[in-house]
Structure 1
């Protein structure tokens, strides 16, 4: 199911990962949870290959993404690749179901449970296919699982729909208390405040539409009962003149920070869509610290620019054209800039002096935080597009963040 204009974007949904060995009944469990034939079910081991992401609405949980993964016991050259894809899915998982179906050696499950705990990912141990075991077998398996995995399993039969209500209730209890309560604009504005949005429509914006951060910010401001005035970069002066008073807050596209700063009323606060996304999807304080590394770059530095999207690069591309141009203008043509997109994020970041990440509007917050943690653990500074452009423009200390 793809996101439409009426859908909650996939990046804003709770990501629920389903993990387990081949033929543990992961796909059947997804179908039982959703009440639909959502995933392909087969008795053949290894039917699910790459992780499959399915956007759903589940009563009580709301909009979510179910991640159907390959068995972590997959083998052979292709099997190892599939397991690596499954491990990558861990980085996007907000909540996990660890599924078992028999009384086998639990060493693999213990390893994956340890990985989930290390990531501080809440998870439920699910003992599936209980219809295939008698009461004494189930009790022995339940006791072993509780002892070896450190928590009581939920016993279900996906095939017969047994105890699915209990599983949904357990999932609901695991939803983080602050889930869905983060705001893009935070305390920067409130009811009745006039907020001006500067939204250049360059060739990156889909025809007839706004880019996702602009849509999300606009919706949030309307929900907060703010008064919203929108314009393009060439109409800033006219829009300010049309307002009866200076706007409380101006939110701009990062690419025109300099132009907006020159025209901004003194009493108006200024930020960008990308800086707001930095706090909403990532760690704004880490990004601000990372921006300090820009002052330490030299003509021989290496910078990694990471995009969440896998779009076809265009002439005005901010990550591939505009930021590299600004870096070369300041540090010379010998500074090395490498661009990666989508999931192609290097495991080893130590070759770089700085990582500059996009606003991550297409990633969920858990995935973005996992990338920040990877950079932090390796001692590599990281910031995002909006923070980097504000720094390069010389106004980072003058803009605000939520």
Structure 2
């Protein structure tokens, strides 16, 4: 992900008056000291671009700008250079010192953002020295027409809420990304393992399978679709080995046994963990499975509602596998559709579906909500691969995550 081109990154521009805490906010968001912080107004003189990972949002370019209230001839040049950044930004964070409130400078930036149809988030900073009241929040919203997020860049209070706001306010084009196409070259062959059982809808494939096929074709590669018992014969009769085998998670063990070791192997659910969420966080969460103890509270969350079959994956199979690992009973809870518990603090693990029925913003919001509660989260595909002992193999398309898994282990 470090090689993501700048043009494919979400560009987040930080605006505000001098000494509003813009550079400190960048450091708090990224959990790094990448911006120079000083009590002297005007430390940042020209826009500074920094390409990096903002977890769990993904690859971004953070743009630190000069104070919009800079003075003098040179100061006005700096302000204009900052204003020009609006032509490059995907999202604006307007930082306001909570102790000074809204001025004409902030109103001007909001007006410019509205003219450009550019999403913006108002950030009331320094609440560690000036705690804001509900009335102050309401007044800020009334003046600027935007819901403010109250934070302290110094103590990092409210930074989690700000990240959620970034995800929710990012432009629609931000989450346009591939499912598997970036792993394939034109002419490559992908074999898709699609079990046809009682849970399979009659006359059609499920949405992740259809979307994956379309993504393969969009990248000028080829797709073979087989049932699990036909995979071995399919590979043996091909003139060339496939680049990748993508399987339904429930057929992982069979697919692993029949896929040559020099062929990439993963599942639809793992691909969707990356496509719709944050695969790195979900892989890290898998280790929490080993720490579960009998009686622990586990949430199994699905983004849609559907008719459950006799051997349903979410209510029967995954609970059974987790009980086998724990060696005892667990306190399972379920949520489905748009219902997602507000209080997650009592859970020891959240197991989420592949999120094919919600967008990436909502899935990332859920992941961050779980993280704020201090609870590990994993998705169906990662969980199944882990409990079946083949997670490392299932991450073969992502060697960096294999290394991360080795470090965690």
| Cα displacement string for residues 232-278 of structure 1 (whole angstroms, at most 9, x for unaligned residues) | 11211221222122211000001111111111112100000000000
Q: 3-state DSSP class of the match of 2:300?
A: strand
Tell me the distance in 1 between the aligned counterparts of 2:277 and 2:168. Answer: 19
Please tell me whether the aligned partners of residues 96 and 121 of structure 1 are also in contact (alpha carbons under 8 angstroms).
no
In 2, are the aligned partners of 1:202 and 1:316 still within 8 Å (CA)? no
Determine helix, strand or coil for the equivalent of 1:342. Answer: coil
2:171 pairs, out of 175, 179, 182, with: 175
Query: 1:179 Cα shift?
Result: 4.3
- Whole-angstrom CA distance in 1 between matches of 2:146 and 2:291: 40
| In structure 1, distance between residues paired with 2:246 and 2:175 | 25
Matched, 1:278 2:239: no
Decide which of 378, 390, 393 is 1:383's aligned counterpart. 378
SS of residue in 1 equivalent to 2:148: helix
C-alpha distance in 2, partners of 1:370/1:250? 30
Give me the whole-angstrom Cα distance separating, in 1, the residues matched to 2:173 and 2:329.
48
- What residue number does 1:313 align with? 308
Pair 1:255 & 2:250 matched: yes
Contact 2:304–2:338, Cα closer than 8 Å, also in 1: no
**Distance apart, 1:346 and its partner CA:** 0.9
Checking the alignment, whether the CA contact within 8 Å between 1:250 and 1:268 is kept in structure 2 is yes
Q: Distance in 2 between matches of 1:178 and 1:334?
A: 42
Could you tell which deviates more after superposition, 212-221 or 184-193?
184-193
Would you say the 8 A contact 2:167–2:365 is kept in 1? no
Q: CA RMSD in A?
A: 2.6
Alpha-carbon deviation of 1:327? 1.1
The corresponding residue for 2:148 is: 114
- The 8 Å contact of residues 246 and 267 in structure 1, kept in 2 or not, is answered as no
Distance 1:222 1:367 in 2: 27
Deviation sequence 1:25-48 (CA, Å, 0-9, x none): xxxxxxxxxxxxxxxxxxxxxxxx
Cα deviation for residue 335 of structure 1 reads 1.8
Post-superposition offset of 1:177? 5.9
Deviation at 1:344, TM superposition (A): 1.9
- Looking at structure 1, the residues matched to 232 and 280 of structure 2 have their Cα atoms a distance apart, in angstroms, of 32
What displacement does 1:204 show? 2.5
Q: CA–CA distance in 2 between the matches of 1:122 and 1:234?
A: 42
8 A contact 2:290–2:325 mirrored in 1: no
User: Partner residue of 2:237?
Assistant: 242
Kindly provide the CA deviation profile for residues 162-185 of structure 1, in whole angstroms up to 9, marking residues without a partner as x.
Answer: xxxxxxxxxxxx8366442x1111
Distance 2:326 2:236 in 1: 38
Structure 1 counterpart SS, 2:266: strand
Shift of 1:112: 5.6
Quick one: distance in 2 between partners of 1:115 and 1:203?
48
Q: CA deviation at 1:379?
A: 0.6
Partner residue of 1:60? none
TM-score by structure 1 length? 0.58
Note the residue ranges of structure 1 that are not aligned, 5 or more in a row: 1-93, 99-104, 124-173
1:184-209 deviations in Å (ceiling 9; x for gaps): 11532221111100011222222101
Counterpart for residue 80 of structure 1: none
Offset from partner CA, 1:341-388 (integer Å, 9 cap, x none): 112211111111100000000001111001000111111000100000
Query: Which range moves more in the overlay, 105-114 or 318-327?
Result: 105-114
Q: In structure 1, the residue corresponding to 2:182 is in which secondary structure?
A: coil
Partners of 1:252 and 1:271 within 8 A in 2: yes
Q: Partners in 2 of 1:95 and 1:343 — Cα distance?
A: 24
TM-score by length of 2: 0.57
Tell me which of 232, 237, 240 is aligned to 2:227: 232
Question: Cα distance 1:112–1:223, how it changes in 2: closer, same or farther (>3 A)?
Answer: same
Helix, strand or coil at the partner of 1:313: coil
Structure 1 residue 322 displacement after superposition: 1.2
| Whole-angstrom CA distance in 2 between matches of 1:270 and 1:333 | 32
Cα deviation 1:286-338 (Å, max 9, x = unaligned): 00110010111122322111011111211132111111111122223412222
Partners of 2:266 and 2:307 in 1: CA distance: 28
Q: 1:397 aligns with which of 358, 369, 392?
A: 392
How many residues are aligned here? 252
- Out of 293, 296, 300, the position equivalent to 1:298 is 293
